[in-house]
Structure 1
Amino acid sequence: MRCFLLAIIMIAGIMGTKAQRVNFGAEAGLSLSSMAIRHQGEQVKAGMTPGLKAGVIGDVRFNDMFSVQPGLYFNQKGYTDNGIKTTLPYAELPVNFQFRFPAWHGHFFTGGGPYAAYLLNDKNIAFENQHIENTISNVKPFDMGININGGYLLRGSAFIRANAGFGFMNLNGNGNTENALRNCSLSFTLGYMLSQ
């Protein structure tokens, strides 16, 4: 996590010297998330649960087609297990590499990049499946993964975005290749850039 943050600071410093323009914005919307659960070598089906995703972003633009977007979000992830919903509130820091293409009265955009996240509260994590609960005694607070996103930006600076996130970290505190927890999420957000 510290190495990830240091890399972001270094990249931001380099980008700041070469960027043509730096903009800021905010976005919020719906997050639909679940967990990829592996218990004793077998996949366990977990349902999706809705949550809130909201945060602020920067847009470091190098030209009309390419920019780098760091952000800081509150992202409610989680899962549903046998009808019981569990919400996992994360502070999430993504860095997306974005490409955009003019169309109609704005631009289509697409991109992706890594993210790092920290679980803000792990007190309400529970598994209805007793075997899984006995295997998982604690959940690791740090998560890292990758985001893929796309959307449409209006000339008036409003935008809509769909984002898919896939966690790489095994969040099972006692995990191994046979017992694993990994976040996966899909979000739909509306946002506004302060200047374009």
Structure 2
Amino acid sequence: MKKYLTIGLVVLVIGIAKAQEVKFGVKGGLNLMKISDEQVKGTSTVGFHLGGLAAIKLSDKFTLQPELLYSTKGTKESYYGIEMKTNLSYIDLPIMAKYFIVEGLSVEAGPQIGYLVSAKGSSNSEYAVFENNFKTIDYGLNLGTGYELKEGLLFQLRYYFGLADISKAIPYYDMNPKTHINGLQVSVGYKF
């Protein structure tokens, strides 16, 4: 993991150094994410994301776009009659490589790392545990598309593939489920 972060930072620094143009902006939108493991397949809940971005133009066709986002994700699940709702809040850092197919229309891909700032939940069972159930770091890959108007308005649609197991072992239940976050992100933003 550290190797990938180092490579990502080196690419970002080289990109900034060679950049023809750098624009900053803001973005926000909806998250339709779910948290699931091998035993429980939850349903998506609606969350949101909000933050800033830097668009580093490397050529007419390529842009590197690091972002810093506050993002909420969650799930609803049912397991042997126990109903649970989990809400997680992250500070996410996606670094997207964007390729412009035609003017304004791009495809994008890139890694993302997230830092857990809050874990809350509710349940109809007194035995459900939430706050200490999750690891601090999440990481994965984003794939998506976007469209930018000349005036600076932008629209993005992404799918996040969580690669990190975000759950901690629950010793008194003898459980260690592999838990991942996956889902859609729809955004609107503005570059200055």
1:121-143 C-alpha deviation (Å, 9 max, x unpaired): 12x14566899x58x96211100
- Judging changes above 3 Å, is the alpha-carbon distance between structure 1 residues 172 and 159 closer, same or farther for their aligned structure 2 residues? same
Unpaired stretches in structure 2, ≥5 consecutive residues? 171-175
1:165 aligns with 2:163: no
Q: Partners of 2:156 and 2:23 in 1: how far apart?
A: 17
List aligned pairs for 1:1-196, cutoff 5 A.
6-39=6-39, 44-82=40-78, 84-102=84-102, 107-122=104-119, 124-125=120-121, 133=128, 138-174=133-169, 179-194=177-192
Shift in Å at residue 34 of structure 1?
Answer: 0.4
1:138-167 C-alpha deviation (Å, 9 max, x unpaired): 211100100011121111110111111011
Q: Partners of 2:20 and 2:33 in 1: how far apart?
A: 36
Contact 1:147 1:164 in 2 (8 A): yes
Contact 2:156 2:186 in 1 (8 A): yes
Structure 1 match to 2:173 = none
1:76-129 C-alpha deviation (Å, 9 max, x unpaired): 011112464322101000111101133xxx51111111000011012x145668
Shift in Å at residue 179 of structure 1?
Answer: 2.0
Tell which deviates more after alignment, 82-91 or 65-74: 82-91
Q: Partners of 1:129 and 1:77 in 2: how far apart?
A: 22
Specify the code of the residue in structure 2 equivalent to 1:109: S
Query: Kindly, what percent of the aligned residue pairs are identical?
Result: 26
Contact 1:77 1:185 in 2 (8 A): no
- Judging changes above 3 Å, is the alpha-carbon distance between structure 1 residues 180 and 50 closer, same or farther for their aligned structure 2 residues? same
Shift in Å at residue 36 of structure 1?
Answer: 2.4
- Judging changes above 3 Å, is the alpha-carbon distance between structure 1 residues 191 and 54 closer, same or farther for their aligned structure 2 residues? same
1:26-79 C-alpha deviation (Å, 9 max, x unpaired): 11111111012113xxxx220110011111111111111101111100110111
Q: Partners of 2:96 and 2:116 in 1: how far apart?
A: 21
- Judging changes above 3 Å, is the alpha-carbon distance between structure 1 residues 174 and 154 closer, same or farther for their aligned structure 2 residues? same
- Secondary structure at the residue paired with 1:10? helix
Q: Partners of 1:74 and 1:99 in 2: how far apart?
A: 25
1:6-28 C-alpha deviation (Å, 9 max, x unpaired): 44443232112211111111111
Q: Partners of 2:126 and 2:42 in 1: how far apart?
A: 14
- Judging changes above 3 Å, is the alpha-carbon distance between structure 1 residues 85 and 166 closer, same or farther for their aligned structure 2 residues? same
- Secondary structure at the residue paired with 2:85? strand
Q: Partners of 1:130 and 1:146 in 2: how far apart?
A: 35
- Judging changes above 3 Å, is the alpha-carbon distance between structure 1 residues 130 and 110 closer, same or farther for their aligned structure 2 residues? farther
What TM-score comes out, normalization by structure 2 length?
Answer: 0.84
The alignment of Structure 1 onto Structure 2 pairs a total of residues equal to 183
